[in-house]
A and B are shown apart, each in its own frame.
Chain A
Amino acid sequence: MKSKIVVALAGNPNSGKTTIFNNITGARQHVGNYPGVTVELKEGNCKHNDTEIEIIDLPGTYSLTAYSAEEAIARNFIIDSKPDAVVNVIDASNLERNLYLSLQLLELGVPLVLAFNMSDVAKSRGYEFDIAKLSSSLNAPIVPTVGHKNGGMKELLDAVVTTAKNNHPPQKLIINYGKEIETEISKIQSLIDINPNGTSKYDSRWLAVKLLEDDKEIAAKISSHEVTEQAKASGGGIEKELDEHPQAIIADKRYNFITDVCNEAVKSNEKKSRTLSDIIDSFATNRFFGLPIFLLLMYLVFQLTFTLGDPFMGWIEEFFVWLGETITTFWPKGSESALKSLLVDGIIGGVGGVIVFLPNILLLFLSIAILEDSGYMARAAFIMDRLMHKIGLHGKSFIPMLIGFGCSVPAIMATRTLENRRDRLATMLVIPLMSCGARLPIYALIIPAFFPQQWHAPMLWLIYVIGIVIAIFGAKLLRSTILKGDPVPFVMELPPYRIPTLKGIMIHMWERGWLYLRKAGTIILGISIILWAMTSFPKKSVFEKNYDGESAAAEETYFSEINELGKTIGISAENNSSILVDAARAELKKDSEQENFYEDEAGSEKAENDYQSTITRLTNSESGKTLALFLETKNKINETNNSFNETIEESGIEEGSPEFQKLEEEHTAALNEIEKNSPQIFSATVQYLDVIKTKYNETLVSVEQEKQSEQLAYSITGRIGHVIAPLLSPMGFDWKIGTALIGALAAKEVFVAQMGIVYSVGEADETSQDLRARLHDSYSPLTAFVIMLFCLISAPCMATIAVTKRESNSWKWALFQLGGLTALAYILTTIVYRAGLFFNIGI
């Protein structure tokens, strides 16, 4: 008695194999309410009573005559690996169609268990099965199951173990295909029996039937020329005699057999009235409304992604700001420690910048999971199928394209469902144009930075639609040029609508979110560190300009202007030696010394005390009263301004609103009150704060900015960026965007990380202005749009290139995809940018 058995799960697409697989093994493979989710073998294990069971989830197939790559995988596994039992998962609500595969499995003589899945749906549709009679007619045990409710799993495993451990090989089902075909089967069969070269593992009758069915893969296995010739002659003879292709006659006979079995054992009180699915479909797949509904749903998904995601993003952003500030306190203020910069600018700026978009990712995949599980995605493919057929493309191509909204890699794998190699290649090549989840952070960074709130969802929607449109026309172009050929007809199966389970959606969303976090913690972290090092080194020791000299000159001008100001309030002196200048010097000294100490250390306190004693000395001198009044007025104005700004920031009151106007009036009144005490001093103080001090600070920032820019240009990233800059200028990109685009080749999210790093490392002041604000200050909305366009169309990530190579079995196609998409992105982006400049849009 075997203690370990191998069991294969086979069945039509969307019959619920993966749901049963997950139920039995406890795995969490992706399931979707549309055909073609599984395209490769998946393996899981479970233990039932004392038996170890290895379960293989096969891709869905309608028959054992392989038309597409994934159907061949399923068939080859059953024939070559000879599992101990095959569970044929049947959609009981579509029994006759599903039994077609069962019949072929029975003809093959595999130990079979039939799982009548979705038996609850079948019952609600009015089907009643005489299980005993059906089981006896088909000579296989039948177990009713309800996959999504985990119903019937124990009974199914009982039947599987019994069947697998049955020592008697199952009896093969022999269908009588009619006198003419049976005669030809006998002729081919006898020749195979004489020349079994390499085909001994197959049953000779089964091989003969497959040859008559014109199965190319089986024909290729036959080495005997005699057998091949006989099969051709037999097929031709049958076609001539019966005026129909043998394949059609064989299928017809099988369906006759199924009908006979069902007539005996299935009672149908099927309500012919329209089901809820039919009613929804009358709108969702309507010739006129179908496409607008699809586009509207996409719009709602993006609206949800932005609006609901915003507050959560804010919290994550605040967390990283806090983390950055906390880490900064480990070093003295103003420290130029490289390790601090790596942690704050490189890791928090890079990885943190990517993690901030986690809520958007979760919401996008929540929406996609709802659309998939409800069955709407199959409708979307159906709607696009009509459109794609009109331009001569295979409608089935749109299913892998829809998967591409998540990730291009499984989407390219999903092209295995396409029978025609040309269709498959064309689809594979354009799949990266479907905006994958990794690109979402780029859009989520850029759109709110450049476009008003009401434009957020429409802009995101527009980018996705542009991707779909270019993908469709790109595929059309490929199919009418280098991949020319006739399209293959395609019949789309629409599954019934189902209410998605909360558990299923949450699992799907969490898996996506977890993988995003893991990617951020591994690939993005690694690349961020490398990019930080490339952006920070080598350090420049000798600068082109004397920046320290420029800062000193700015300081001299500052004191000179303060001295001039002093004359207007009667505390002037020659050679910048007035008490006002002395007070300003003391303030700068205090600020400078405090930067060299930990915020809470004694040094900081000492600097403050020194400053206060200087001020006390100065205010006790001649003209000291005027100085005291000036400093008091300055403090009052600062306090009033800070209070006004804090209130606006904390309450989130919008500029121009009635509340804002009220606050502004109160603010002006408070300033007027200060002015009343001494109009002359007030005027001088305002002049100092708004003009002299501001100008001085701006000059210092500008000098520092210039120094940082020179340092950045000297770094490895800067050098690479400046080499490629001329190439990027037609698209309106600078070298910073260029280096981010190179980094994005590894993973698209790196674009966000690299922008975060470049703008953090190159940050001239200590203000924590966020990346969006910095981008807004550096680029125009037109540039922002073309960045998104370029990221959408250009070279996909490395994993996609690698899987294209694997699936097309050629580096040629992978490199064509890489080069072709990048060239297309370059051309389109340049055209859009130049057109925008010409028409003065978004500049």
Chain B
Amino acid sequence: MGETIALVAIIGSACFFGGRTIYRSLTGKSERCGCGKECPLSDTCSDSKKKKD
């Protein structure tokens, strides 16, 4: 039972976050591309964030 709950929780979280990532990247809500700080889309750098043009 415990295993089943853990399994459902893990798969559920993966589906939620995976779906969210896909939705956000396709609708342009997420500007992260995961490709690197040199990527102008990346806003992951704490000390230098992109400014909208």
Contact = CB atoms under 8 A, between A and B. Distances in A.
A-B interaction: yes
Interface of A: 21, 25-30, 37-45, 56, 73, 76-77, 337-339, 342, 406-410, 413, 436-437, 511-512, 515, 518-519, 522-523, 525-527, 529-530, 533, 746-747, 798-799, 801-803, 805-806
Contacts of B11: 342, 529-530, 533
A410 B34 contact: no
A803 B41 contact: yes
A413 B4 CA distance: 45
Contacts of A41: 50-51, 53
Contacts of B35: 406-410, 436-437, 515, 799
Contacts of A519: 34
A580 to B, nearest CB: 43
Contacts of B37: 28-30, 511, 515
A342 B48 contact: no
A409 B39 contact: yes
A807 to B, nearest CB: 10
A512 B37 CA distance: 8
Given A28-B37, A803-B33, 6 more contacts: A38-B40, A342-B10, A406-B36, A410-B41, A519-B34, A526-B21
Nearest to A746: B22
B47 A27 contact: yes
A413 B47 contact: no
A413 B36 contact: no
B3 to A, nearest CB: 5
A45 B47 contact: yes
A518 B53 contact: no
Contacts of B4: 338
13 contacts: A27-B48, A29-B45, A30-B37, A42-B40, A44-B48, A45-B47, A406-B35, A409-B35, A409-B41, A437-B35, A511-B36, A799-B25, A802-B25
Contacts of B51: 40-43, 56
Given A523-B21, A526-B21, A533-B11, A410 B40 contact: yes
A526 B11 CA distance: 8
A799 B40 CA distance: 13
Among A30, A436, A522, A802, chain B packs the most CB atoms within 10 A around the CB of: A802
B24 to A, nearest CB: 9
Contacts of A527: 14, 18
Interface centre among B17, B22, B37, B40 (most CB of A within 10 A): B40
A37 B38 contact: yes
Nearest to A438: B35
- Interface size class on chain B is 20 to 34
Nearest to A56: B51
A307 B50 CA distance: 38
A798 B22 contact: yes
A413 B36 CA distance: 13
A66 B11 CA distance: 51
A29 B48 contact: yes
B14 A526 contact: yes
Contacts of B36: 30, 406-407, 410, 511-512, 515
Contacts of B26: 798, 801-802
A576 B34 CA distance: 65
Contacts of A40: 40, 50-51, 53
Contacts of B33: 407, 409, 799, 802-803
Nearest to A27: B48
A513 to B, nearest CB: 10
Contact of A798 (B25, B38, B39, B40): B25
Contacts of B6: 339
Nearest to A32: B38
Nearest to B34: A519
State the 8 A-B residue pairs at the shortest beta-carbon distance, nearest first. Answer: A30-B38, A407-B35, A529-B14, A799-B33, A27-B48, A40-B40, A410-B39, A409-B33
Residue with the highest number of chain A CB atoms closer than 10 Å, among B3, B39, B41, B47? B39
Contacts of A529: 10-11, 14
Contacts of A799: 25, 33-35, 41
B48 to A, nearest CB: 4
Contacts of B17: 526
A652 to B, nearest CB: 37
B49 A43 contact: yes
Contacts of A798: 22, 25-26
B39 A413 contact: yes
B45 A28 contact: yes
Contacts of B39: 407, 409-410, 413
B29 to A, nearest CB: 10
Contacts of B41: 409-410, 413, 799, 803
Contacts of A747: 34
Contacts of A338: 3-4, 7
Nearest to A798: B25
A84 to B, nearest CB: 16
Contacts of B15: 530
Contacts of B18: 523, 526-527, 530, 746
Contacts of B25: 798-799, 802
A589 B43 CA distance: 61
Contacts of B22: 746, 798
A747 B10 CA distance: 20
Contacts of A523: 18, 21, 34
A533 B18 CA distance: 13
Nearest to B18: A526
Contacts of B50: 40-43
A649 to B, nearest CB: 36
Contacts of A802: 25-26, 28, 33
Residue of A28, A342, A406, A526 contacting most chain B CB atoms (<10 Å): A526
A43 B48 contact: yes
Nearest to A76: B53
A806 B26 CA distance: 10
Contacts of A437: 35
Nearest to A365: B36
A163 B25 CA distance: 42
A314 B26 CA distance: 37
Nearest to B39: A410
Contact of B53 (A44, A73, A533): A73
A25 B38 contact: no
Contacts of B48: 21, 25, 27, 29, 42-44
Given A410-B35, A523-B34, A44 B10 contact: no
B42 to A, nearest CB: 8
Nearest to A38: B40
A805 to B, nearest CB: 8
B7 to A, nearest CB: 6
A747 B22 CA distance: 11
Contacts of A533: 11, 14
